[in-house]
Homo-oligomer: A and B are copies of this chain.
């Protein structure tokens, strides 16, 4: 089981990413609105966020439920009856849901809000018994959720519910069970919470001052003397009930799974692989074009890719994604629809077909030429570069011409592409692979390597 608590310091909001790395599936409980760290952590551990669970409608922070949904497609779940006005799934008291080896059980623990739920979590790899409980805003470390936020009319009922939830529901759980609440120190949903963000049922029973109150004291305590209620709470509740608006960003770095990339390619999207030539040579998505992230990238994209095309990027990391988008924006290629989440490794792990592009060393090329050569060899540099020095007998076909009028080559023939340093060679070779040629190779290091190795150069 993967388990990670996220703490928003100051506001004291606690949220949880829980999942099963074997099954590559995860959920987030009570997400904050800035959701990037959930996504990054899930991705780093090879999981997809498939569910968002809200223990209740929050009053103190706008939820990230819809933000997560728009980025990952996750389903949003509330306890039955929760008045959320946007699409969601309801779970019921006692429902059980399995995410791989992780088992979630939902129990109603109202009091702070009328439909608040706690979630029992079992790691079935370790035991069939629940390991810990997410208590939402019912039981905190050192306090309990305030029952007054729902308003005066409901107060009496909420107080009764809260008492029952604490004593009849959570109080019946084993002493050894860990407790992970939705708030810690700093939160205005309770008071006197500890800054230590976890505890156990047993320890809270012994030390939490609220749990030792009898019903009458409890009732007195919670029907008088409410703590402060910020102006923002009504606004936040309304926002969370209606569905929080998305924090739009352009470009949204939309994560695409390998399967989604495949589907988009079938619909016509172009896959632009911005990794370097060595990496593209090792493994790539068949049909992708290699234009490495470098100084001249935008110029080459402008030559190879149609301005109207929908583009998917293969990059090393998000920083490179943004650098590529900046370059594409400069030439008005704004149709980037996302990138392959998890990089090329995620493609490999799906067992999908792999492309490779052999990066020939100059030594191998020389030996090959001596052995009698290849079916086709093209030097794709500019005329100026070619005239300064080239390998004797090699045909000159500038990259721009090759792209516009691809040479007609029977499938199965062996093709070598040579450029200045290997960069354009990979553009050309990936383009030739894309039109169906399979035995294409690129000269690693290009003419720079040939010259550096001291091999002979012809001039016009």
Contact = CB atoms under 8 A, between A and B. Distances in A.
The complex is assembled from copies of this chain, and their number is: 4
Contacts of A71: 252, 254-255
A344 B186 contact: no
Contacts of A282: 277-283, 356-357, 359
B186 A255 contact: no
Interface in A175-211: 175-178, 186, 188, 191-192, 194-203, 205-207
Nearest to A18: B196
Residue from the set A278, A301, A363 with the largest chain B CB neighbour count within 10 Å = A278
Given A186-B299, A202-B175, A445-B350, A332 B244 contact: yes
Interface residues of A, number: 138
Given A326-B34, A351-B362, A232 B176 contact: no
Interface string A445-460: 1101111111100000
Contacts of A422: 345, 348-349
Contact of A177 (B203, B343, B421): B203
A303 B233 CA distance: 9
A231 B11 contact: no
A331 B280 CA distance: 32
Interface stretch (A84-92, A121-129, A372-380): A121-129
A46 interface: yes
A275 interface: yes
Given A250-B249, A299-B11, A34 B349 contact: no
Contacts of A13: 330
A350 B344 CA distance: 27
Contacts of A294: 10
Residue from the set A44, A334, A445 with the largest chain B CB neighbour count within 10 Å = A445
A339 to B, nearest CB: 11
A361 interface: yes
A436 interface: no
Interface in A227-253: 228, 230-236, 239, 244-245, 247-250, 252
A34 B330 contact: yes
B359 A283 contact: yes
Given A43-B342, A306-B231, A358-B356, A195 B33 contact: no
Interface stretch (A1-9, A106-114, A151-159): A1-9
B305 A231 contact: yes
Nearest to A319: B319
Contacts of A448: 349, 351
A224 interface: no
A299 to B, nearest CB: 6
Interface string A105-145: 00000000000000000010011010100000000001000
B195 A178 contact: no
A202 B127 CA distance: 13
A161 interface: no
Contacts of A307: 231-232, 234-236
Contact of A176 (B3, B192, B202, B302): B202
A174 interface: yes
A296 B244 contact: no
